[in-house]
Structure 1
Amino acid sequence: MSRPTPGPPVGRNGPQPASRAGGSRSADVRCAVCGTESRQSRFRPVPPEGAPDLDLRPGEPLRGTMAAWLQQCPHCGYVAPEIARAHPAVIEAVGTAPFRALIADATHPPLSRRFLAYAYVLEETGALHAAAEATLQAAWAADDARKPELARAWRGEAVALWRAGPPLDTEQTVRVVDALRRSENFEDAGATAEQLAASHPPEAVAGVIALEQRLIALRDSGRHTVASALPPPARRPHATQSNIARRDGAGWWERLRRIFRRK
């Protein structure tokens, strides 16, 4: 298969996390798509100290390290946590016109473009839920760049990808509700939340959904944290909350149990 046509210059990793927020090791990496060797950093996540948002965006200091979560080839633009590996379908996807246009679109925040490019190749390989995760992360980057219209649009795209994939588990459904609410699709958010609440979910899920329903009724599209949905006593994040588009197979209740513990 032919190598993709080189596109415009692309930065490698953007700003690196501060020493308090995580670590990284730099090394020469050969791109699995085009074969170009470049200097890349491999990010090592550390536990957040703050509570995650309702959509599970982690708290600080991990929250502020998004620029280091993905590597990007400076030649072909391929994006992944580790560009030394690629699904066979990725090679063709990176060479398409839509991908080239995506990484060159200056109307989108640079970090959002990186996550959207990753979402694109994931979608082309059929990993729709992972593509939804990356698209949601593009919305987080748009939030930080103060681009609310783009953030709302990408949350809507993330929901579409989640729903187009395999049946959703409880965690994903909660995140769909939050994405719908934050994209101001209150009717769909309310109906989805009501359906989940009627399924008699575990206590932690019920608490989050009850909060979502109150926010939906108020037509509140703002950011809220998981801690807001938990009853007293105050709770703090557990050290193992470091999900960056990687699923560990645990259920929602187990994840919350590991995220929070009583003081």
Structure 2
Amino acid sequence: MTDYSTQKLQCYCCGKASEHSVLMSSNTHGSPDLDQRPPKMHRWTIGSWLQECPYCGYVAPDIDKGDAKARKFLDSDEFRVASLDPSPDPVTRRFLVRAAQRAYQGERRLAFLSTLSAAWVADDANQPTEAASLRLRAARHLEGPRITSIDTRLLLLDVLRRASSWEAAEALTVELTAEELGYPFAEIVAFHRDKIAARDDGRYTIGQALEGKPPPPTAAEDQELIKAIARHIKIVPNPRRK
């Protein structure tokens, strides 16, 4: 069940009020994709994950909340460029504006995730070329210092494979395999390795990657470990309101 509420919100940055459709509840039944794209029902709410002030252009999960950094971004050239993004889809553009803000603030992982969300919009619109382009754009946010986070690199691996960036995907697979990861990360990397070898850029879920590969008996008996694994592989936050 998905419920929305229309609310009048005062923009944190400019102080003007406007009406917005606010997501109140949804469900996440089913396995997310390997890039953490939510299953149906919840992913269909993606248009409400970000709000945009129609007066100043501030984009945020809740435009009535913010900080000094958000106001500073609105005065930047980066904001003006992002606001003029030629994407005809307003939901895509909101995610790209949000990504630009995160990048401006030095939060490259969050910029990566926001751009990846824009790719999900293209997925649902059946625009594979645009989705691949946005995935490569997301990957560029992670260029620079080496990423040590396993969850972020697993997301990046799926992004590179889905964008048919085979050489980069293969290199990341080799890097992750050499680390001798435990369950379920090693199984997910092995799944990607097989798909990359077959030049398969299709969409797959975490459930599909782990099908027929149950946790080792010792891990299955350790409920706290199982909970920790579940938290670790589900890293993209849900919408901010319930």
Does TM-score exceed 0.5, indicating one fold?
Answer: yes
Structure 2 counterpart of 1:209: 189
Structure 1 counterpart of 2:238: none
SS at match of 1:195: helix
Q: Is the 8 A contact 1:202 1:253 kept in 2?
A: no
Verify: 1:170 aligned to 2:150, yes or no: yes
Q: Could you tell me which amino acid in structure 2 is paired with residue 82 of structure 1? A: D
Q: 1:116 & 1:216 partners in 2: Cα distance?
A: 28
Equivalent pairs, count: 223
Identity %: 31
Query: TM-score, normalising length from structure 1?
Result: 0.76
Q: Could you tell me which amino acid in structure 2 is paired with residue 225 of structure 1? A: T
Structure 1 counterpart of 2:114: 134
Verify: 1:82 aligned to 2:82, yes or no: no
- 1:122-144 per-residue CA deviation (whole Å, 9 max, x = no partner) reads 21122221111101001111122
SS at match of 1:162: coil
User: Which of the residues 136, 140, 145 maps onto 1:156?
Assistant: 136
Q: Superposition pairs for residues 233-248 of structure 1, below 5 Å?
A: none
SS at match of 2:55: coil
Verify: 1:61 aligned to 2:41, yes or no: yes
Query: TM-score, normalising length from structure 2?
Result: 0.82
Q: Is the 8 A contact 2:151 2:232 kept in 1?
A: no
Q: 2:115 & 2:139 partners in 1: Cα distance?
A: 9
User: Which of the residues 198, 212, 215 maps onto 1:232?
Assistant: 212
Q: Could you tell me which amino acid in structure 2 is paired with residue 232 of structure 1? A: G
Give how far 1:255 is off.
3.9
Closer, same or farther in 2 for the Cα pair 1:126/1:166, shift >3 Å?
Answer: farther
Structure 2 counterpart of 1:179: 159
SS at match of 1:28: strand
Q: Is the 8 A contact 1:128 1:164 kept in 2?
A: no
Q: Mark the runs of 5 or more structure 1 residues left unpaired by the alignment.
A: 1-19, 235-249, 259-263
- 1:207-249 per-residue CA deviation (whole Å, 9 max, x = no partner) reads 1111101111111111111111113389xxxxxxxxxxxxxxx
Closer, same or farther in 2 for the Cα pair 1:45/1:167, shift >3 Å?
Answer: farther
Closer, same or farther in 2 for the Cα pair 1:86/1:143, shift >3 Å?
Answer: same
Closer, same or farther in 2 for the Cα pair 1:67/1:103, shift >3 Å?
Answer: same
Closer, same or farther in 2 for the Cα pair 1:55/1:252, shift >3 Å?
Answer: farther
